Each structure stands twice: as structure tokens, then as C-alpha cells.
């Protein structure tokens, strides 16, 4: 049996504990691609949250992002498949999570947004210190998550 495709999760799988791609891992990915295997990132992150070296990895043509909400052709930027979260379902999730001390995040078109005061204290919500800077750098801080949610008409990538 010949392997035709490999989907790779990032955190805790492809990336090491420091959120880095090791030289050995790069070599293995390159060898698989050379053999004709379609290697793709399969992650909960939006595409912009995928490390640049993976977004531009030679021969890595596709990415499954946002927990499966979007599959795209990385060479062209074309969205091949999209299954977004309805505003109604997203609203229910936000209503439930606001009852607890959580870092609520909403995503539109691959961009994450989070309440500014909670984002400033991300260490309360993510125990992995290697994630803190990534989270701060990849989300846009907003004063009111509900105001942003209500100002947008489109469905969401994820909550």
C-alpha cells in the first residue's frame, strides 16, 4: 500500500515543545514530498497562525485549517472547501463561555480576535508558556467581543 497523503497536526505533533520545526522533521517532510506524498498541515489554527516555514515549505501545497473549517491551496491562496460556523451557533457558544473565566476568541476570515484585558493575561488561560507569545501575536485585541461579533454579518471560522 502506497501512502498518498499525510495530514500533520502542529502543536504537540509536528512542532516540538518550543513550537519549532526541527531539522530532522523538515528532512522527513521533504523526503515524503519527493516520493509524491501530499503532505499538508491539519490544524486548529488559521492559516496565518501556521509557522511561515510551513506555509512556504517547498512542495507542501494544501492546508486544512481552523479545525477543518477551511481547506486551501497554499500555492494560489484559493479556498477549496469551507465549512463555517453559523452566527447562530457561534452566538450560543459565546453565551455559554461568557459564564466562565475563559479567553473567548472569535475568528473571521482567518483572523482571531480576543478581549484586550484577557489577552494581556493569556498565561491564565494557556498553561504552555510557549503558546503565550504566539497567542498574543496572532490575535487582535478588542474592547468588546460582542460588539465585534454583532458588527459582522458573515459566518465565523471558529469560536
Confidence of residue 121 (pLDDT cuts 50, 70, 90): very high
CA pair distance 30, 119, nearest whole angstrom: 36
Cell of 140: 487582535
Q: How far is CA 4 from CA 7, 82, 152, in A?
A: 10, 23, 40
Query: What average pLDDT does range 109-133 have in this prediction?
Result: 92
Its pTM surpasses 0.85: no
Mean pLDDT throughout 150-159?
95
Catalytic residues: 9
Kindly provide the b/e burial profile for residues 81-101, where b requires at least 16 CB atoms within 10 angstroms of the residue's own CB.
Answer: eeebbeeeebbeebeeeeeee
Chain segment 15-37, per-residue pLDDT in tens: 888 888 999 999 999 999 999 99
The whole-angstrom separation of Cα 94 and Cα 14 is 30
Amino acid at each position: 500500500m502506497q501512502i498518498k497523503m499525510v495530514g500533520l497536526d502542529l502543536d504537540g505533533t509536528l512542532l516540538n515543545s518550543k513550537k519549532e520545526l526541527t531539522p530532522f522533521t523538515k528532512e522527513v517532510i521533504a523526503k515524503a514530498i519527493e516520493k509524491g506524498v501530499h503532505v499538508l498541515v491539519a490544524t486548529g489554527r488559521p492559516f496565518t497562525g501556521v509557522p511561515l516555514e510551513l506555509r512556504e515549505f517547498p512542495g507542501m501545497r494544501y492546508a486544512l485549517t481552523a479545525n477543518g473549517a477551511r481547506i486551501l491551496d497554499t500555492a494560489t491562496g484559493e479556498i477549496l472547501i469551507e465549512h463555517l460556523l453559523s452566527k447562530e451557533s457561534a452566538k450560543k457558544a459565546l453565551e455559554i463561555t461568557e459564564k466562565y473565566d475563559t479567553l473567548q476568541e472569535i475568528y473571521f476570515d482567518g483572523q482571531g480576535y480576543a478581549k484586550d484585558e484577557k489577552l494581556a493575561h493569556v498565561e491564565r488561560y494557556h498553561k504552555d508558556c510557549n503558546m503565550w507569545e504566539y497567542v498574543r501575536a496572532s490575535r487582535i485585541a478588542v474592547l468588546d467581543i460582542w460588539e465585534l461579533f454583532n458588527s459582522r454579518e458573515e459566518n465565523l471560522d471558529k469560536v
